[in-house]
Amino acid sequence: MSMMRQRKPKPQLEEHEEEEEEEEKKKKVRPTEDPPLKKRWSCVDSCCWFIGLICSIWWFLLFLYNAMPASFPQYVTEAITGPLPDPPGVKLQKEGLKAKHPVVFVPGIVTGGLELWEGHHCADGLFRKRLWGGSFGELYKRPLCWVEHLSLDNETGLDPPGIRVRPVTGLVAADYFAPGYFVWAVLIANLARIGYEEKTMYMASYDWRISFQNTEVRDQTLSRIKSNIELMVATNGGKKVVVIPHSMGVLYFLHFMKWVESPAPMGGGGGSDWCAKHIKAVMNIGGPFLGVPKAVTGLFSAEAKDVAVARALAPGFLDKDFFRLQTLLHVMRMTRTWDSTMSMIPKGGDVIWGGLDWSPEEGYDCAPKKQKSNDTMITDSNGANGRQSQAEIVNYGRILSFGKDVAEAESSKIERTDFRGAVKGNNFANGTCQDVWTEYQDMGIGGIKAVADYKVYTAGSILDLLHFIAPKMMKRGDAHFSYGIAENLDDPEYQHYKYWSNPLETRLPHAPEMEIYSMYGVGIPTERAYVYKLSPTTDCNIPFQIDTSADGDDDSCLQGGVFLVNGDETVPVLSAGYMCAKGWRGKTRFNPSGIPTYVREYDHAPPATLLEGRGTQSGAHVDIMGNFALIEDIIRVAAGATGEDLGRDRVYSDIFKWSEKIKLRL
């Protein structure tokens, strides 16, 4: 062992040198390696960050909203705008008013909920779920299935095979249209303040899609309304009901009053004195008694002013074959099966709405006006307070004009080719459109050209136009509605139900102690006539559209292809006010018993701040349901007041002056 050589350990210096050599080698290798890249901020990152920020703010605000005291929003509003007035129910409760007459609500078109009772496979799991109203969740989840189930049979106007959609019942049927968007809820809450409850309030819900008489044929709705009113009168000490229809519900209840007194089987068999025994007052809100021009554009091109603007901005999304959505085509296919929409086609022809060279509203000034308070009382039985100005000449009688130049031209200079009897020509649609049938596929290029070559349509020729473009739809409409003026109301012809919703072709019931009110908003530009153009030719589109490029000056009545007039944003003053201002005023052939009529207008005042929501002085067609002045009028009448107690008429528009221009035999 001792002979073996032992290895000497390396000196400490040599080990240190080796470590330095290794580090130098690493330094020489590092520069050849790619340096680490810094991550760039992309558009996707920005979008995700923005969405996350919005969601975080939303949840934070939602938390604060649920955590704060219920009175906090009112406190903030009062801090900004000053003390808020008491709601009408609280105010009148302090005055000592109590519930007296039972109240019946009659909702209008689209505001009542509809639920599914039977459907196809695509609607599994939706039994008794709302298809219309509420959150509209199914519209987003399965839009084509939703359209299929809300459409009616194109031949009968009733349920398609295998589908049953029925109206929601009770006050919840139309208290809110969607979460947070009230319809009747504010009025119901204020009535409750003076003692009303569900046994003294009744929501006369009905399927607003089908014709008025068919609501009785399919659902016996008219019979149910009759029975409920009789029950409410009997269980409330014989006190008559106050009926409050809104929008199309006004026409529906007009139909009911004639139905209930007519003999069975067509009518309800109540006798000629039924209304006199059971109804104290009918307080019509925003009633389209004589129709609305926008009903024509809805049937003609599935448009109104707002839709026309959207269609011009995004035509590929709304009506062309973009990802095969064909939005407007599906809307038109669905709404053209709703017979109720035809109840609002303008009635009375050129006598009421004007012709090529005149209209009752001629001289109306569209310049913005100073807002008035709803507390201001303006009553004038001969001519209302109107704005005098050098107004532009607007041919409101020309409801549809193809081209701005045609709308403004002298009638003698308009060259027109009659479309009636024109050969419709070859079919312009291809096979991809057949699942969205609208009757335009049957017109062909020849028919479309004939419609445009007629240039201008008044209320007298609108019906011929609709018969030409949609004969199957109008065949159903002709069976249930009429739009003329009766020459002789004693003619047995007018006993048919198709005339009952037209105030110019039927008599009011014999009930001289009953009262009829026409209550509506004014001071909002409302659609009255339209400028049209042909749509760009494609395989799958609606061939006509409002010409949104047709504009006047800043204060002009022509805005975005639409001629505007005074109204509630939906119903022109002429339609809402004429019957109570003149057609039914005193004893006329339409009101032989002289039922007292009153015109109550509510001048629109928009909310001062966002905290006021939809406002308490709104005159808009639906928002007026929260108007404090209107609610107060209703509660006073329900508590026993009469039209005389309210101060008779309250008028801000020129309805009396315009009514005098209409030469109708009364």
Q: What is the pLDDT of residue 614?
A: 82
Report pLDDT for 139: 73
Let me know if 621 is a catalytic residue: yes
- As a whole number of angstroms, the distance between CA 422 and CA 434 comes to 24
Question: Could you tell me if 174 and 187 are in contact, meaning their C-beta atoms sit under 8 angstroms apart?
Answer: no
Minimal CA–CA distance to 394: which of 299, 569, 531? 531
Q: What is the pLDDT of residue 639?
A: 96
Which pLDDT does position 43 carry in this prediction?
66
- Mean of pLDDT values over 340-353: 96
- When pLDDT is averaged across residues 297-303 and rounded to a whole number, the result is 90
H or E element that contains 349: helix 349-353
Whether residue 33 has pLDDT greater than 60: no
User: HEC profile for 232-285?
Assistant: HHHHCCCCCEEEEEECHHHHHHHHHHHHHHCCCCCCCCCCCCHHHHHEEEEEEE
Pick from 218, 191, 215: nearest CA to 205: 215
Q: Which residues pair with 453 in a beta bridge?
A: none
Amino acid at 247: S
DSSP code for 309: H
pLDDT at 324: 43
**Residue 196: DSSP 8-state:** -
Helix orientation angle between 293-301 and 459-469, rounded to the nearest 10 degrees? 20
Return the pLDDT at 211.
Answer: 97
| 577-593 confidence digits (pLDDT tens) | 999 999 999 999 999 99
Q: Which token pair is 64?
A: 């604060």
Those residues with Cβ within 8 angstroms of residue 627's Cβ, 6 or more apart along the chain or in another chain: 374, 521, 602, 615, 616, 617, 618, 619
pLDDT confidence bin for 140, thresholds 50/70/90 = confident
CA distance 261 to 514: 15
CA distances from residue 64 to 58, 70, 74, 365 in whole angstroms, order as listed: 10, 11, 15, 47
Residue bearing the bigger pLDDT, 22 or 576: 576
- pLDDT category at 17 given cuts 50, 70, 90 is low
Count of CB atoms situated within 10 Å of the CB of 160: 17
Residue 432 in this model has a pLDDT that exceeds 70: no
Mean pLDDT on 131-150: 85
Average pLDDT over residues 120-136: 90
∠384-385-391 over CA atoms, to 5°?
105
Q: Which of 330, 480, 604, 621 is catalytic?
A: 621
Are the beta carbons of 529 and 395 closer than 8 angstroms? yes
Whole-model pTM: value is: 0.85
Measured in degrees and rounded to the nearest 5, phi and psi for residue 379 equal: -125, 125
Structure-model confidence comparison of residues 81 and 29, the more confident one: 81
d(CA 244, CA 303): 29
226-268 tens-digit pLDDT: 999 999 999 999 999 999 999 999 999 999 999 999 999 999 9
pLDDT for 377 equals: 42
461 is catalytic: no
Task: Return the pLDDT at 179.
Answer: 86
Nearest to 397 by CA among 465, 450, 435, 346: 346
pLDDT classification of 393: cutoffs 50, 70, 90: confident
Given the residues 159, 547, 568, 603, select the one marked as catalytic: 568
| Strand pairing class (181-182; 176-178) | antiparallel
Predicted local confidence at residue 332, as pLDDT: 85
- Determine which of 74-78, 153-157, 493-497, 548-552 has the lowest per-residue pLDDT on average: 74-78
The amino acid at 436: V
- DSSP for residue 633: H
- Torsion, Cα of 439, 445, 447, 449 (10° steps): 130
Which of 72, 82, 85 lies closest to 627 in space, CA to CA?
85
pLDDT of residue 553: 81
The per-residue pLDDT for range 150-195, each reduced to its tens digit, is: 999 989 999 999 999 999 999 999 999 988 889 999 999 999 999 9
Q: Give the confidence band of 489 by pLDDT, cuts at 50, 70, 90.
A: very high
Asked if pLDDT for residue 77 goes beyond 70, the answer is no
d(CA 410, CA 432): 43
Model pLDDT, residue 75:
59
CB within 8 Å of 573: residues ≥ 6 apart: 361, 520, 522, 526, 565, 566, 567, 601, 653, 654, 655, 658
Q: How far apart are CA 425 and CA 402, in angstroms?
A: 21
* Rounded Cα distance, 601 and 180, in Å: 26
Task: Say what percent of the chain tops pLDDT 70.
Answer: 80
What is the arithmetic mean of pLDDT over 296-318? Answer: 68
Check 247, 301, 340, 482 and give the catalytic one: 247
In this predicted structure, the answer to whether residue 5 has a pLDDT above a threshold of 60 is no
CB-based contact 519:602 (threshold 8 Å): yes
C-alpha distances in Å from residue 134, one per residue of 120, 151, 172: 21, 18, 10
Q: pLDDT at position 272, please?
A: 94
